[in-house]
Amino acid sequence: MQISNFTPNDIHPFLSMAKDEGWISTRHELAFLLERSPEGCLVCHEGTKPVGFVTAVRHGRSGWIGNLLVTADARGRGIGTSLFKQAMQVLQRSDVQTVWLTASLAGRPIYERSGFRVCDRIRRWEGIGTEPIEVHDAKPLEPGWEEIDFLGWGDSRNELLAYAASNGTAAGTEEGFLVVQRLGSSQQIGPFGALNSATAEKLLEQMLPGTGKVLLDVPSSNRVASKLLTSRGFTVSNEVDLMYAGQPPAYHAEHIYGLASMGSMG
């Protein structure tokens, strides 16, 4: 067993493994992670075969661990634990104050033993329309939108927001913003932040009409978002724990209507 930094050549094997697990990951996301945090992109090989992956990326004073995946035939041998520990070390060396991740019911006890605490649940919502949304040329996020995102997460995540905007279409006002990202044959809503429910509702109405399959991950404690999505015909398809370790974050879910990723980067 050998753990090393993964390269662009490892993207295809990872995406193949992720698809087998029913995960939603894209080449664009992995390319961003390799550019933004090459030291945090780790792969475990047995011989020449990749059997495990994990990613770690820093945003300002916080970091995210995601994409922890081990092939079914290699589980139970400590590979996932070793990858997770090395990812934590990468973030600790970069002096982050808070580390985030999302955890399944099975994974939660493992992370709790490493000092992680649950602060919320993340629900995956799905909606179905009649035709794909028209995705226009990428529009850069405006500075005020970065401040709204900061209100939700308590940290500056400008590079992540710019990545998301480069992968889709952004819209917003002084009181909120929404990005629709390409996600294969589907679309992802997020990042999606707002100062109030009225703004969130207007942005969703503006960007949602006529869309095909749409996905978004939303904090369950944002009950306004849940009510809004339910009224638009969205249903919950999955739910995981949102956990953190280190300094308690200035987290305000009432301003978070959609994560910027499918759980891997925040």
Per-residue pLDDT tens digits for 97-150 = 999 999 998 889 889 999 999 999 999 999 975 454 554 454 567 779 999 999
Please compute the mean of the pLDDT values over residues 7-11 and round it to a whole number.
89
Residue 1 has a pLDDT of 82
- Which residues partner with 46 through β-bridges? 49
Please compute the mean of the pLDDT values over residues 246-255 and round it to a whole number.
98
Residue 164 has a pLDDT of 93
Q: Could you give the 3-state DSSP secondary structure of residue 53? A: strand
Residue 129 has a pLDDT of 58
Residue 130 has a pLDDT of 46
Instruction: For residues 125 and 215, give the distance between their C-alpha atoms in angstroms, rounded to a whole number.
Output: 6
55 Ramachandran zone, left/alpha/beta (phi>0; psi -120 to 50): beta
Residue 51 has a pLDDT of 95
Residue 186 has a pLDDT of 86
Residue 217 pLDDT > 50: yes
Kindly report which listed range (63-77, 106-120, 165-179, 197-211) carries the lowest average pLDDT score: 197-211
How many Cβ atoms sit within 10 Å of the Cβ of residue 138?
Answer: 15
Annotated domain spans of the chain? 2-96, 123-239+246-258
- Reported CATH class of domain 123-239+246-258: alpha beta
Q: Is the pTM of this model over 0.75?
A: yes
Q: Matching CATH topology for 2-96 and 123-239+246-258?
A: yes
Residue 131 has a pLDDT of 53
Residue 37 has a pLDDT of 96
Kindly report which listed range (70-79, 165-174, 201-210) carries the lowest average pLDDT score: 201-210
**Looking at the domain that runs over 2-96, which CATH code has it been given?**
3.40.630.30
Please compute the mean of the pLDDT values over residues 4-27 and round it to a whole number.
89
Please compute the mean of the pLDDT values over residues 232-239 and round it to a whole number.
95
